[in-house]
Amino acid sequence: VKEQGKNNFQFYTPEMNEAVTKKMKLEIGLRKALERDEFKIVYQPQIDVETGDIIGVEALLRWHHPEWGTISPAEFIPIAEETGLILQIGEWVLHGACRQNKAWQDAGYTPLRMAVNISSRQFQQSDLVERVSRILNETELAPQYLELELTESIIQDSKYAVAKMQLLKEMGIHLSIDDFGTGYSSLSYLKTFPIHTLKIDQSFTRNIYADSKDASLVETIIAMAHNLDLKVIAEGVETEEQLQFLQQKQCNEAQGYYFSRPISAEELAVILQERSVS
Ligand code: C2E
Ligand code: CA
Ligand code: CA
Ligand code: CA
């Protein structure tokens, strides 16, 4: 028995222990982050490819821990999803982003659409539609200035997904499919889902010039979307060449470091201010 115990114990390497401990630490930290006010929302502009105008922003969550510094969403969102904390956090983001968008409108800036990421767990809530509706009421933001970014996994996991999307659409909210092309799902959902926009994943945008197959994929996604009466936005646009390609292929919108990194509400207000006087 002793031998066996020893063998069992050896199965856990120090590296695995470290990973587990780190995850537990992050989870404990995440539980306190909301009440300690450690989250912040940053905003990344979305550009109309034809006019060069900002027509929307995507809200992206940031976590600044007093000791650990800034933790990437790629690291903490999966833990928030696993533990269910994403429900509270996601609601906080949705509320904050809507409130911010209304504040910019009240300041007199040309209205923008605010895109907010919705995780599967969040979308699965049976009262999701009521929650969104309540937040719009509380913040007094008109529904056409809110867009929800959903991933393809939502479509597979959720009961009544189409019905929920239909209700959101009827309220006037925009829906987009994020990371389009990475979800390994059948394309048939495009016929039944009441969505407005496909968001081309940055893994395709990145290689437009390096890989002719990625270029073909991007071109094909744009053409298909337009045939289905959907808009297309490309994410991860970093260079002039990528933008030119997207312009040529009549992609509607673009987002990426070429235009702007995600920035604070104050920094964005400066841009909106300049834009409204020029
Ligand atoms: P995403 O929704 O696909 O967001 C795009 C990510 O690409 C963001 O990373 C953004 O900062 C980054 N990005 C934007 N332009 C460029 C570019 O030109 N080049 C490159 N290399 N990257 C670019 P971020 O902010 O680290 O977020 C990572 C992921 O975390 C997001 O991917 C999203 O899945 C998740 N996330 C972030 N905020 C939230 C949130 O409030 N709720 C939920 N559920 N998920 C969120
Ligand atoms: Ca997104
Ligand atoms: Ca994305
Ligand atoms: Ca992504």
Is the beta carbon of 46 within 6 A of some atom in ligand 1?
A: no
CA 137/CA 27 separation, integer angstroms: 32
Q: Residue 157 belongs to what H/E stretch?
A: helix 152-157
For ligand 1, say whether the CB of 44 is within 6 Å of any of its atoms. yes
Question: How far does residue 117's CA lie from ligand 1's centre (Å)?
Answer: 9
Q: Is the pLDDT of residue 93 over 70?
A: yes
**Alpha-carbon distance 113 to 58, whole Å?**
8
* One-letter amino acid for residue 84 of the chain: G
| Residue 246 tokens, joined | 């997207």
Q: Which residue in 182, 229, 232 sits closest to 204, CA to CA?
A: 182
Q: Which two tokens stand for residue 249?
A: 């292929």
Q: From the CB of 93, is ligand 1 less than 6 Å away?
A: yes
For the beta carbon of residue 151, count every other beta carbon within 10 angstroms.
21
ipTM above threshold 0.90 = yes
Residue among 59, 58, 63 nearest 40 (CA): 63
The per-residue pLDDT for 4 is: 52
Q: 34-51: per-residue pLDDT in tens?
A: 999 999 999 999 999 999
Question: How many Cα atoms sit within 13 Å of 2 on the Cβ side?
Answer: 0
pTM above 0.80, yes or no: yes
Whole-number Å distance, alpha carbon 60 to ligand 1 midpoint, is 6
Ligand approaching nearest to the C-alpha of 176: 2
- pLDDT tens digit sequence for 187-202: 888 888 899 999 999 9
Listed residue (117, 119, 115) closest to 83, CA to CA? 119
Contact indicator for 263, 42 with CB cutoff of 8 Å: yes
For ligand 1, atom 19, the nearest C-alpha belongs to 236
Q: Is 167 exposed, middle or buried (0-12, 13-18, 19+ CB in 10 A)?
A: middle
What mean pLDDT do residues 126-141 have? Answer: 97
Residue 234 alpha carbon to ligand 3 centre in Å: 9
Nearest ligand for residue 44 CA: 1
The pLDDT of residue 17 is 81
Q: Is 48 in the pocket of ligand 1 (CB under 6 A)?
A: no
CA dist 77 and 74 (Å) reads 6
Count other C-beta atoms under 10 Å from residue 179's C-beta: 18
262: Cβ below 6 Å to ligand 1?
A: yes
> In the prediction, which pLDDT does 191 show?
86
Please choose from 117, 123, 208 the residue to mutate so as to test ligand 1's pocket, defined by most ligand atoms within 8 A of CB.
117
So what's the pLDDT on residue 22?
86
DSSP assignment of 7-47: HHHHHS-HHHHHHHHHHHHHHHHHHHHTTTT-EEEEEEEEE
Counting from 1 in the atom list of ligand 1, the atom nearest the Cα of 262 is 11
- Consecutive H or E run containing 106: helix 86-106
* CA of 121 relative to ligand 2 center, distance in Å: 15
Identify the band that residue 1 occupies on the pLDDT scale cut at 50, 70 and 90: very low
66 φ, ψ (degrees, to nearest 5): -60, -30
SS3 107: coil
Kindly report the CA angle at 230 between 228 and 235, in degrees rounded to 5? 130
Expressed in angstroms and rounded, the spacing between residue 149 Cα and the centre of ligand 2 is: 6
Mutate to test the pocket of ligand 1, among 60, 79, 118 (most ligand atoms within 8 A of CB): 60
**pLDDT tens column, 226-274:** 999 999 999 999 999 999 999 999 999 999 999 999 999 999 999 999 8
Q: Which ligand is nearest to the CA of 236?
A: 1
Phi/psi at 146 (5° precision) = -120, 135
Among protein residues, the one with the nearest Cα to ligand 1's atom 26 is 73
